[in-house]
Amino acid sequence: MPRTMKSLVALAALAALVPATSPARNVGAPLAGTVAATTYSSSGAAHQAVDIDGGTCGSTPITTGVTGSLAWNVVINTPNTLCNTAMTGPQNVAKHTFADGFTFRLMDFNKTGQTYDRTCDRCNIGAAGDRGIPANSLHLQRDKAGTKDTSWYAGYSTVGEALSLGELIGVLD
């Protein structure tokens, strides 16, 4: 076998050993608003997620914000539209679990006719409101086995930043 062919076969064999990586997915702002918290909450406690304050409770649509068609499991724990409530009790959650074990969650929104399990790309999942600090803020978090990951928004989102709908706030690797 010619030397060039042996080199190509060797490279192909090595490529087969390298694990396939999942594509990076951009996270756009699920609603227009202001970044209310990231790594630390307003009280100074560790937060390790992005909270976006904005929208009119019960009427401003909330999207998943993530590019790429993903399966979203939506769990509704509040039967009514909740506005301006403290962060206590059950919350509504839309989440996607990736093959590497990481989960991306959107929490603290109100149920609408668009709130159901599905596979979609930046689809509408509910409306502003439910719970949060500040009240009516949407919580976005990436975690694995209970440990939160902040790398997805580091360098993209800062507290006090005004966001338009769809504006890049982070990247899920």
- Domain assignment present for 151: yes
- Domain assignment present for 66: yes
pLDDT score for 19: 45
- Domain assignment present for 32: yes
Could you tell me the CATH number of the domain that includes residue 69?
A: 2.70.70.10
- Domain assignment present for 27: yes
| Domain tally, the chain | 1
- Domain assignment present for 70: yes
Helix (H) or strand (E) holding 12: helix 3-17
pLDDT score for 107: 87
Q: Is 124 left (phi over 0), alpha (psi -120 to 50) or beta?
A: beta
Per-residue burial over 13-41, b = 16 or more CB atoms within 10 Å of its CB, e = otherwise: eeeeeeeeeeeebbbbbbbebebbbbeeb
pLDDT score for 148: 93
Q: Supply angle C-alpha 137, 149, 69, rounded to 5.
A: 75
Domain of residue 89 covers 22-172
pLDDT tens across the length of the chain (173 residues): 555 544 444 445 444 444 455 678 899 999 999 998 898 877 777 889 999 987 778 788 889 889 888 999 888 887 777 777 665 666 788 999 999 999 999 988 888 888 888 888 888 888 887 665 566 688 899 999 889 999 999 989 899 999 999 999 999 98
- Global pTM value: 0.79
- Domain assignment present for 6: no
The answer to whether 63 and 30 have CB atoms below 8 angstroms apart is yes
Place of tokens 């959107």: 106
- Domain assignment present for 116: yes
pLDDT score for 47: 85
Q: What is the dihedral sign for C-alpha 91, 28, 52, 128?
A: negative
pLDDT score for 21: 57
Closest to 114 (Cα-Cα) out of 148, 70, 64: 64
pLDDT score for 170: 94
- Domain assignment present for 48: yes
